[in-house]
Chains A and B, each alone.
Chain A
Amino acid sequence: MNLSLKQLSPGDRAVVKQVTAKGQIRRRIVDMGVVPGVEVEMERSAPLGDPVEIKIDSYHLALRKEEADAITVELLSVV
């Protein structure tokens, strides 16, 4: 099932399918390693709801929901 990264709940794991953001933002996202085929785990959202924190490989990445919305993922498991 394809979702946007934003739709994941804490604990969900997913595989990145596509980064649909444009220009500089897309480049920042992919430069940080969020490329198709990579596995990510949703960790939490910030106390005020936005941004969100994901785990990718062994590191933690924060991004705003509007940016997470431009990343298509396939859900792997629900905890």
Chain B
Amino acid sequence: MKKNTLTIALAGNPNSGKTTVFNNLTGSNQHVGNYPGVTVEKKEGRLKYKGYDIKVIDLPGTYSLTAYSPDEIVARNVIIEEKPDLLVNVVDASNLNRNLYLTMQLKELEVPMIMVLNMADVAEQSGMIIDYHLLSTLLGMPALRMVGTRKEGIQELLDLLVGSIEGSIKKDVRRVGYPAVLEAEIQKLVEILPSEDGDIGGSGSVVAGPNGIKYPSRWVAIKLLENDSEVIKKADALSGSQKIMKQLELSQGIVKKALNHDSEMAIVEGRYAFIRGATREAVRIEKTDGVPVTEKVDKILLNRVFGLPIFLGIMWLLFQLTFTLGTPLMEIIEAGFMQLGSWADHQMAEGLLKSLLIDGIIGGVGGVVVFLPNIVLLFMGIAFLEGTGYMARAAFVMDNIMHRIGLHGKSFVPMLIGFGCSIPAIMATRTLENPKDRLVTMLVTPLMSCGAKLPVYTLLIGAFFAPQVAGNVLFSIYLIGISLALIMAKVFRTWLLPGESEPFVMELPSYKMPTLKAILLHMWERAWLYLRKAGTIILAASILIWTLLTFPMVDSQGHEYANAQLQLENSYAGRIGRVIEPVISPLGFDWKTGTALIAGVAAKEVVVSTLGTLYSIEDADALAEEEAGTVKTFAERAREQSGFTPFTAYILMLFTLIYVPCMAAIAVIKRETNGWKWPAFTIAYTCTLAWVICFVVYQGGKALGLGV
């Protein structure tokens, strides 16, 4: 019976244009998820062609298939475990030697395979003349010319795919020829591996693990010689593992003696030697005049003097794009939800349901959707910078500073975005490959003072500080935030998540113009992820906070409270405020501040409006607009009722800066780390840190006679 479904997997180096090929094949019919247990992104898409239903798996872009990186482990495991009908290797034709290094490793997995030489136009412009037929013969797989950005070669690829299932592509068992010494040792290992059958790639296969997954014997042997930790673990569980390990040790000794290299190096060198041989035959290079565009551009963008200012300028533009352009859109969305709320207000009778709908649900959904403009714009900017190739340069420029705190150059961008909003910033950590770097960046990003904290600062500064010092006070808060983020990053990287820092061995890809389609798809992907995953948690948390602030609605006699202030004082949030008062009183806070801080978990800007309600300031809008009269009343009441001085106001600003990022940020951390462990840790550490810092400052300041 003819099979009419087909699974293909796309593999290739980062920057090989693999994503362009994927987008060309599947259009918008894509699904993004995560591989179980790891933070590696799983991208799949579907298409129909000539009656076939084709599933396309976009494997993570990798340079190699070692056990050192989660991306590489995922890539090879998907190929071995899901056994795609066809493996499509996207190769950057202008950079053949390094790209074919992955090709050779993919071939060792013994899956039917074709090679797509993408960006052929770039290669040709640089004077390369590729003999596709010869290259195909030498490497033992069909080789196809493609210019993904112009859709050249896509049709041919689809025909090849269909042809493969109809039997026109034969599996070629040609192998990388390693030096004779290595080949002999590989053979010795293959022979003692428990073999299942003889037909996979001619060398049989090893069944390892409880799921009966078959691994090509030759691949296992090569990986053992490469000292691959994952494969060694699997081999240890095999029957006769002692014999295998003994042979491995013997073989490694022989290789080392003969080639003067350990076997891992010998294998890497063997692959490169084979590739160089092949490209020497199949590629002719005609000298071209002139310096490539990329080198000309980098002379300016990476200039010793101008490199840093240009980088900062580009970051400033990204920030402006996200927040200056995003803010009016956010206001429109906010206004829209206000309209919706007031419409509901008119339509519905007074009551609990109405309050739940307006303050809980509409407020909650509004709180989710309101971040969309920022997220969409930021990811548009990031997709553009990534697509052009500048992102790698940004990391190159910033690595010196970031490396000092134990992070990678790439951590800088998310931390910077944190000044605007933690939510897109946390999502931007996806550009970091090292999981520890990514986690640490995620944990410290909320310490960068986000936009929602700003109204809290300006109002408190307006109420308690003279205009002459206002700027300095605000600046000091931002500076403390940055310093804490850097210190905590160093602390976390040293003690919490120790380990070798990510090596900075990074390709600076050629500059190119990203396609609009790629940028739009990327934006859409991020926006959808945010809405779907974080949105549900944010909505649930909004309703919870609403419940805490709204109930009980009546006093113990069943009478309604006379006003909003009394109701709030007696609500659960108010009661929790009283319960935690002993904890926060060493910081100079009373229960009213405590209640406001609890409400502030929903969103930081709520801290001040809640305090306003508690000080029975009727006109909440006037307070939010920072009208002079209302601010003065606020300051007076805060002084009278809670004993606020400029000093306690400063402590409150500090606390607001450091404690729990808002629940939307928590929800995004949960989504990005696939569990509650890290969001819980974030809550715990930020609260502890906020308490300790405020305690030290308050008690220290009091001893020095401040704040009286």
Main secondary structure of the interface of B (DSSP, over half): helix
Residues of B within 8 A of A33 (CB): 97-98, 101, 272
Say whether A51 contacts B98, CB under 8 Å: no
Residue of A nearest to B97 (CB): A57
Report, as a range, how many residues of chain A touch the other chain: 35 or more
Q: State whether the Cβ of B307 lies closer than 8 Å to any Cβ in chain A.
A: yes
For the complex, give the distance between the alpha carbons of A46 and B403 in Å.
13
Say whether B503 contacts A28, CB under 8 Å: yes
Q: State whether the Cβ of A25 lies closer than 8 Å to any Cβ in chain B.
A: yes
Give the distance to chain B from A54, nearest Cβ to Cβ, in Å: 10
Residues of B within 8 A of A51 (CB): 396, 399-400, 409, 504
Interface size on B, residues (CB 8 A): 41
Knowing A32-B98, A57-B98 are in contact, say whether A25-B505 is a contact too (CB < 8 A). Answer: yes
Q: State whether the Cβ of A67 lies closer than 8 Å to any Cβ in chain B.
A: yes
Knowing A31-B64, A44-B302 are in contact, say whether A50-B101 is a contact too (CB < 8 A). Answer: no
Q: State whether the Cβ of B397 lies closer than 8 Å to any Cβ in chain A.
A: yes
Q: State whether the Cβ of B506 lies closer than 8 Å to any Cβ in chain A.
A: yes
Interface residues in B295-316 by Cβ distance below 8 A to A read: 298, 302-305, 307-308, 311
Say whether A24 contacts B507, CB under 8 Å: no
Surface stretch bound by A, among B246-254, B262-270, B377-385: B262-270
For the complex, give the distance between the alpha carbons of A61 and B399 in Å.
14
Residues of B within 8 A of A45 (CB): 304
Q: Which of B101, B268, B269, B506 contacts A61 (CB 8 A)?
A: B506
Say whether B399 contacts A64, CB under 8 Å: yes
Residue of B nearest to A38 (CB): B272
List B residues at the A interface (Cβ < 8 Å). Answer: 63-64, 66, 68, 94-95, 97-98, 101, 126, 264-265, 268-269, 272, 294, 298, 302-305, 307-308, 311, 392, 396-397, 399-401, 403, 409, 500, 503-510
10 tightest A-B CB contacts, nearest first: A47-B307, A48-B400, A31-B64, A60-B508, A25-B503, A28-B505, A47-B308, A64-B504, A33-B98, A30-B268
Q: List 19 A-B contacts (CB under 8 A).
A: A23-B500, A25-B503, A27-B68, A27-B268, A28-B505, A29-B505, A31-B63, A32-B507, A46-B396, A46-B399, A51-B409, A53-B396, A56-B98, A58-B95, A60-B294, A62-B504, A63-B505, A64-B403, A64-B503
List A residues at the B interface (Cβ < 8 Å). Answer: 19, 23-33, 35-36, 38, 43-51, 53, 56-64, 67
16 further interface pairs, Cβ-Cβ under 8 Å (given A27-B264, A57-B97, A62-B508)? A24-B500, A26-B265, A28-B503, A29-B505, A31-B268, A33-B272, A44-B304, A46-B307, A51-B396, A53-B298, A53-B302, A59-B507, A59-B509, A62-B396, A63-B504, A64-B403
